[in-house]
A and B are shown apart, each in its own frame.
Chain A
Amino acid sequence: MTIDRPTLANDNYLTHTRGFLSWILTLDHKRIGIMYLVSVLTCFLLGGLFALLVRTQLLVPEGLIMDQDQYNQAFTLHGGIMVFLVIIPGIPAALGNFVLPIMLGAKDVAFPRLNLFSYWLWIVGAVFLVISIFAGLDTGWTFYTPYSIDDNSAMGGVIPAVTGAFLLGFASIFTGMNFIVTIHRLRPDGMTWFRMPLFLWSLYATAVIQVLATPVLGITLALLAVERAFGIGIFNPALGGDPVLFQHFFWFYSHPAVYIMILPAMGIISEVIAVHSHRHIFGYSFIAWSSIAIAIFSFLVWGHHMFTSGQSPLMNVVFSFITFSVAIPSAVKVFNWLATMYKGAISWNTTMLYGMGFIVLFLIGGLTGLYLGTIATDIYLHDTYFVVAHFHYTMMGSALIGFICGLHHWWPKMTGKMFNETAGRTAFVLFFIGYNLTFFTQFMLGSHGAPRRYATYPADAGFQTYQIISTIGSYLMAISFFMMAAYFLASCFGGRRAAANPWGGRSLEWQCSSPPPFDNFSEQPAVGDCYDFSVLRWDEATGGYVWREDVAHPGHDAEEVAHT
Chain B
Amino acid sequence: MSMLGMLATTKLGEATSGGGFWMPESASTVAPEIDGVFYFINNINYFFFALCVAILIWFAIRYHAKPSEHATFTTDAPTHNTPLELTWTAIPLLLVGVIFWLGMDGFLELSEAPDDSYEVQVTAQKWSWTFQHPDFGVTEAAELTVPLGRPVRLIMTSSDVLHSLFVPAFRVKNDVVPGRYTSLWFEATKPGQYRLYCAEYCGKDHSKMLAVVNVLPEDEFQTRLGKLAREYEDIADQDLPEYAMVRLYNRCASCHSLDGKSGTGPSFKGLWDRTKSGSTVFTDGSTLKDYMGPGGEFEVPENYIRDSILNPRHYIVQNYAATMPTFKGQLKERQIDAMVLMLKNLDRLIDEQGNPIENPDLSGADVSTGAQK
Hey, which bits of chain A sit against chain B, CB under 8 A? 68-69, 72, 138, 140, 144, 146-147, 150-154, 237-238, 242-244, 277-286, 307-310, 313, 316-317, 320-321, 324-325, 327-328, 331-332, 334-336, 338-339, 341-348, 356, 359-360, 363-364, 367-368, 370-371, 373-380, 382-384, 444, 447-449, 451-458, 460-462, 504, 531, 533-534, 536-538, 540, 545
Q: Is the CB of A376 within 8 A of B22?
A: no
Q: Is the CB of A317 within 8 A of B104?
A: yes
Q: Is the CB of B65 within 8 A of A343?
A: no
Q: Supply 16 A–B pairs (Cβ within 8 Å), ascending by A.
A: A72-B204, A284-B80, A286-B85, A307-B107, A332-B88, A336-B85, A342-B63, A367-B45, A373-B100, A376-B104, A377-B37, A377-B106, A382-B173, A454-B206, A460-B12, A460-B16
Q: Is the CB of A534 within 8 A of B72?
A: yes
Residue-wise, chain B 47-62 has the 8 Å CB interface mask toward A (1 for contact) of 0110011011001100
B179 sits at the interface (CB 8 A):
yes
Give Cα A456 to B180, complex, Å.
Answer: 29
Q: Is the CB of A324 within 8 A of B77?
A: no
Q: Is the CB of B179 within 8 A of A338?
A: no
Q: Which residue of B lies closest to A347 (CB)?
A: B67
Q: Is the CB of A243 within 8 A of B177?
A: yes
Select B201's contact among A147, A346, A364, beta carbons within 8 Å. A147
Query: Are A341 and B60 CB-contacts (below 8 A) given A72-B203, A328-B96, A458-B210?
Result: yes
Select the residue from A310, A313, A382 with max chain B CB neighbours within 10 A.
A310
Q: Is the CB of A243 within 8 A of B179?
A: yes
B141 sits at the interface (CB 8 A):
no
Please give, as numbers and ranges, the residues of chain A lying within 8 Å of B96 by CB-CB distance. 324-325, 327-328, 370, 373
Which B residues from 133 to 155 make CB contacts under 8 A with A? Answer: none
Q: Is the CB of A147 within 8 A of B173?
A: no
Q: Is the CB of A348 within 8 A of B97?
A: no
Give Cα A536 to B102, complex, Å.
Answer: 51
Give Cα A332 to B96, complex, Å.
Answer: 13
Please give, as numbers and ranges, the residues of chain B lying within 8 Å of A140 by CB-CB distance. 201
User: Closest CB-CB distance, B206 to chain A, in whole Å?
Assistant: 6
Q: Is the CB of A284 within 8 A of B161?
A: no
Q: Is the CB of B173 within 8 A of A308?
A: yes
B323 sits at the interface (CB 8 A):
yes
Query: Are A238 and B322 CB-contacts (below 8 A) given A320-B103, A534-B75?
Result: no
User: Closest CB-CB distance, B73 to chain A, in whole Å?
Assistant: 5
Q: Is the CB of B41 within 8 A of A536?
A: no
Q: Is the CB of A367 within 8 A of B49?
A: yes
Q: Is the CB of A283 within 8 A of B80?
A: yes
User: Closest CB-CB distance, A28 to chain B, in whole Å?
Assistant: 31
Select B59's contact among A72, A328, A344, beta carbons within 8 Å. A344
Please give, as numbers and ranges, the residues of chain A lying within 8 Å of B99 by CB-CB distance. 324, 370, 373-374
- Number of residue pairs spanning A and B whose beta carbons lie under 8 angstroms apart: 297
Q: Is the CB of B70 within 8 A of A504?
A: yes
Q: Which residue of B lies closest to A280 (CB)?
A: B79
Select the residue from B38, B41, B78, B201 with max chain A CB neighbours within 10 A.
B201
Looking at the complex, which of B191-199, B278-286, B303-311 is the stretch in contact with chain A?
Answer: B191-199
Please give, as numbers and ranges, the residues of chain B lying within 8 Å of A338 by CB-CB distance. 52, 55-56, 59
Give Cα A140 to B15, complex, Å.
Answer: 29
Looking at the complex, which of B113-121, B163-171, B227-235, B238-246 is the stretch in contact with chain A?
Answer: B163-171
Q: Is the CB of A68 within 8 A of B104?
A: no
Please give, as numbers and ranges, the residues of chain B lying within 8 Å of A364 by CB-CB distance. 49
Q: Is the CB of A144 within 8 A of B201?
A: yes
User: Closest CB-CB distance, A365 to chain B, in whole Å?
Assistant: 11
Q: A374-B41, A376-B34 are in contact. List 20 more A-B contacts (CB 8 A).
A: A68-B206, A147-B201, A150-B161, A153-B126, A243-B179, A277-B63, A280-B79, A283-B79, A283-B80, A308-B173, A324-B99, A345-B69, A347-B67, A374-B99, A375-B106, A383-B173, A384-B166, A533-B73, A534-B73, A538-B69
Q: Is the CB of A376 within 8 A of B100?
A: no
Query: Are A237 and B179 CB-contacts (below 8 A) given A280-B79, A342-B63, A346-B64?
Result: yes
Give Cα A119 to B67, complex, Å.
Answer: 38
Please give, as numbers and ranges, the residues of chain A lying within 8 Å of B52 by CB-CB distance. 334-335, 338, 359, 363
Hey, which bits of chain B sit against chain A, CB under 8 A? 12, 15-16, 19, 22-24, 33-34, 37-38, 41, 44-45, 48-49, 52-53, 55-56, 59-60, 63-81, 84-85, 88-89, 92-93, 96-97, 99-100, 102-108, 110-111, 126, 160-162, 164, 166, 168-169, 171-175, 177-180, 182, 195, 197-208, 210, 321-323
Q: Is the CB of B100 within 8 A of A374?
A: yes
Please give, as numbers and ranges, the residues of chain A lying within 8 Å of B89 by CB-CB distance. 286, 328, 331-332
User: Closest CB-CB distance, A286 to chain B, in whole Å?
Assistant: 5
Q: Is the CB of B49 within 8 A of A363?
A: yes
Q: Is the CB of B65 within 8 A of A347?
A: yes
Query: Are A451 and B197 CB-contacts (below 8 A) given A146-B162, A338-B59?
Result: yes
Query: Are A461 and B16 CB-contacts (below 8 A) given A146-B178, A367-B49, A537-B70?
Result: yes
Closest 7 A/B residue pairs (Cβ): A237-B179, A449-B168, A376-B106, A374-B103, A454-B207, A345-B65, A375-B107
User: Closest CB-CB distance, B254 to chain A, in whole Å?
Assistant: 11
Q: Which residue of B lies closest to A286 (CB)?
A: B85
Please give, as numbers and ranges, the residues of chain A lying within 8 Å of B73 by CB-CB distance. 278-279, 345, 533-534, 536
Select the residue from A140, A348, A367 with max chain B CB neighbours within 10 A.
A367
Please give, as numbers and ranges, the residues of chain B lying within 8 Å of A383 by CB-CB distance. 164, 166, 173, 199-200
Please give, as numbers and ranges, the residues of chain A lying within 8 Å of B67 by CB-CB distance. 347, 504, 538, 545
Give Cα A452 to B174, complex, Å.
Answer: 15
User: Closest CB-CB distance, B242 to chain A, in whole Å?
Assistant: 28
User: Closest CB-CB distance, A530 to chain B, in whole Å?
Assistant: 12
Give Cα A331 to B201, complex, Å.
Answer: 33
Query: Are A237 and B178 CB-contacts (below 8 A) given A243-B162, A383-B200, A533-B73?
Result: yes
Give Cα A282 to B63, complex, Å.
Answer: 16
Query: Are A376 and B205 CB-contacts (below 8 A) given A341-B60, A342-B63, A383-B166?
Result: no
Give Cα A486 to B98, complex, Å.
Answer: 49
Q: Is the CB of B66 within 8 A of A347?
A: yes
Q: Is the CB of A335 within 8 A of B103?
A: no
Select the residue from B69, B77, B160, B323 with max chain A CB neighbours within 10 A.
B77
Query: Are A379 and B171 CB-contacts (below 8 A) given A282-B78, A324-B99, A336-B85?
Result: yes
User: Closest CB-CB distance, A371 to chain B, in whole Å?
Assistant: 6
Please give, as numbers and ranges, the residues of chain A lying within 8 Å of B321 by CB-CB distance. 151-152
Select the residue from A370, A377, A458 with max chain B CB neighbours within 10 A.
A377
User: Closest CB-CB distance, B28 to chain A, in whole Å?
Assistant: 11
Q: Is the CB of B60 within 8 A of A328?
A: no
Give Cα A360 to B57, complex, Å.
Answer: 10
Q: Is the CB of B77 within 8 A of A537?
A: no
Please give, as numbers and ranges, the residues of chain A lying within 8 Å of B97 by CB-CB distance. 324
Q: Is the CB of A313 within 8 A of B107?
A: yes
Give Cα A453 to B23, complex, Å.
Answer: 21
Q: Which residue of A lies closest to B23 (CB)?
A: A447
Give Cα A310 to B161, complex, Å.
Answer: 15
User: Closest CB-CB distance, B72 to chain A, in whole Å?
Assistant: 7
Q: Is the CB of B59 within 8 A of A244?
A: no
User: Closest CB-CB distance, B186 to chain A, in whole Å?
Assistant: 11
Select B177's contact among A244, A375, A453, beta carbons within 8 Å. A244
